[in-house]
Amino acid sequence: MNQAVPQLRSLLSKVSKDADDDITAYVRSAIPLTIEEKSQIQKTLTKMSGHEIAVISTVDPSVLGGIKIQIRDWVVDMTFLKTVLNMSHMLME
């Protein structure tokens, strides 16, 4: 989960350089996010990118836990589903 964060940081720096319009971050989670959580995510992403970022959250129980953030073509997946799938791929190899 922590490994995904530096990826997000580099992604946001690229987004901030390329951004001309408002950017939307799609956040997916297993449970509905509270207003505070959404606001915190929006603030954090805006501060990290230095650009205004809107947040749209959706509920997807299949992610099991954690959040998945998608901005344009970039995805930062911190969900449990991603962790479980990574572990399964490692075990398969």
Partner 1 sequence: MDKLGIEPSLFIAQLVNFAIIMILLNWLMYKPILGMLEKRKKKIQEGLELTEKMQGEWEKMEGKKAKVMEEARINGLKLIDEAKKQAKSEEHVILEETRKKSDDMIAKAKMEIAELKVSMDRQVRHEAVSLAVEMTKRILGNVMSKELQHTIVKKQMKDLESVR
**Interface residues with partner 1 (CB under 8 A)?**
1-2, 5-6, 8-9, 29-31, 33-34, 37, 40-41, 44-45, 47-48, 61, 64-67, 78, 80-81, 84-85, 88, 91-92
CB nearer to partner 1: pick between 6 and 18: 6
Three-class SS of residue 74? strand
In sequence order, which ranges of the chain are alpha helices (DSSP H)?
Answer: 4-18, 35-49, 80-92
- C-beta of 8: minimal distance to partner 1 in Å? 7
CB nearer to partner 1: pick between 5 and 56: 5
Sign of the CA dihedral running 5, 76, 44, 27: negative
What is the rounded radius of gyration, in angstroms, for the C-alpha atoms of the chain? 14
